[in-house]
Amino acid sequence: MKYNYSEFQQAIKNLQWSKQELADRLSVIGHEAVVTGEELDVTVTSNRKDCQNFQYLVFDLCGVTEELEQSNPPSGYSHSNVIPVSIEQVNRLLGSNLEPSVLKKLEKLGFIVEANGVRPPNFRTGIETVADIAEEVLRVVGFEAISIKELSKADIKVSPDYEKQLAIKQKLAGIGLFETRTYSFESNGDVELKNPFSATMPYLRTSLLQGLLVTASKNPYMKRVSCFEIGNIFNPDEQTVLEILLTGQKNYDHVTQQIIKVLGVTITFQPVEDTLLTASGVKQPNPVSAQLPIDKITEVKPTNRPVDLPQFQPVSKFPPLVRDVTLIDTEFDSSTAAKIFPELLFVEEIDNYVSPETNKQSVTYRFLFQKFESSFVDEEIRSIDQRLLKHFNNE
């Protein structure tokens, strides 16, 4: 929903914030806002149907901001049944030490605070439990009101499940697979959330495959994608599984044997259904996947820690320049290419063929060039092409 900044100025008597400050505050209280010129583009959290109405959006903002006063607050609304709650319960949930008088601050949000509990206004349909009340209290008092307490380090017990999953991740990463983490929510499934994060994804996932396919679709310039995820699925019972996705190879026997060796258990890959590929937009050829319950993997032992992990690298928002080069009976060193081409993001082998007539081997490599500050212009593209030709002609 888009609103002009002047609309907020008219609706709030004493608004002194800039457009950006207003957008930041709306985002802090749960309504993501972005400034575009004189407008604020506000995305309301899916469980706040009341804030689809501008008057109630402003009412919510003023309710959690003590210094703001709404010019024309809504009135005449009714209230739901009382939710029994005490400040002791709220403090226990928040880890806080708030005074009983804090509950009275909820009245600015339309609540009725009584001796034995709180009555939410009828337009706050998602307020049903003590935890919901505690969340509203936190929004009113602010995160800065919650003191930070250091956790005790005494008698720390390492989770065997964590150690096992860490070992599996390290083994798979050691043979060239990449770990990915995706959302636990999907558009359909067996377990529907009462208060979903997004109205378009109200179910808990029944498989990790869809998330891996989305990851592959977001990297269309990579022909070979080898990724995995360890996470929980709900069918409807909760289960921790390992899912692996491989793409871009004609034969997966070698990588399958590597995976079986490091996991110590047989794993079978199956082609991904065309309907799933179409829905996720995957462009890579020959995708296959395999799913395995974690409790079936028993032979993997934790490695010694600490582990030297690679550092996160920035991701460019500009499109890459893709060039495929086929070499016949020629050795290729990617480290040398990185020195010659500073714009080179990475090189991957995408095809390998040995001619039965000549017994010569041809290998095709995909070069991805990318800049972080802008797209490539024609002159830069010509320069890269010329350097590629010169380098490989010399080879």
Tokens of 147: 């003191």
Q: What does the pLDDT read at residue 338?
A: 73
Closest CA to 123 of 61, 82, 78, 85: 78
CA atoms of 250 and 253, how far apart (whole Å): 10
CB 296 within 8 A of CB 265: yes
* Residue 311 identity: Q
CA atoms of 286 and 246, how far apart (whole Å): 8
Q: Output the average pLDDT for the chain.
A: 88
Neighbours of 224 (CB within 10 A): 17
CA atoms of 113 and 255, how far apart (whole Å): 63
CA atoms of 384 and 388, how far apart (whole Å): 6
CA atoms of 248 and 220, how far apart (whole Å): 11
Of 146-155, 289-298, 300-309, give the lowest mean pLDDT range.
300-309
Q: What is the dihedral of CA 186, 190, 194, 197, to 10 degrees?
A: -10
The domains located in the chain, with CATH, are 2-64 (3.30.56), 83-145 (3.30.56.10), 160-296 (3.30.930.10), 321-394 (3.30.70.380)
Q: What is the rounded average pLDDT of the residues 366-386? A: 91
> Model confidence at 293, in pLDDT bands (50, 70, 90)?
very high
Highest mean pLDDT among 217-221, 245-249, 325-329, 388-392: 245-249
> Model confidence at 307, in pLDDT bands (50, 70, 90)?
low
CB 289 within 8 A of CB 247: no
Angle at 351 between CA 349 and CA 353, to 5 degrees: 130
Report percent pLDDT > 90 for the chain.
54
Of 14-23, 85-94, 332-341, 372-381, give the lowest mean pLDDT range.
332-341
User: Strand, coil or helix: what is 205?
Assistant: coil
Of 3-17, 65-79, 314-328, give the lowest mean pLDDT range.
314-328
CB 284 within 8 A of CB 309: no
Q: What is the dihedral of CA 213, 219, 220, 226, to 10 degrees?
A: -60
CA atoms of 245 and 287, how far apart (whole Å): 7
Exposed, middle or buried by CB within 10 Å (0-12, 13-18, 19+), for 216?
buried
Quote the DSSP letter at residue 118. Answer: E
At 279-288, the pLDDT tens digits run: 899 999 999 9
CA atoms of 171 and 239, how far apart (whole Å): 21
CB 33 within 8 A of CB 4: no
- Which tops the pLDDT comparison, 212 or 197? 212
Q: pTM for this one?
A: 0.57
CB 293 within 8 A of CB 233: no
At 88-132, the pLDDT tens digits run: 999 999 988 899 999 999 999 999 999 999 999 999 988 999 999
Enumerate the H helices of 289-377 as residue ranges: 334-340
Tokens of 125: 């349909």
CA atoms of 264 and 299, how far apart (whole Å): 6
Q: What is the rounded average pLDDT of the residues 364-374? A: 89
Sign of the CA dihedral with 278 first, then 284, 286, and 287 last: negative
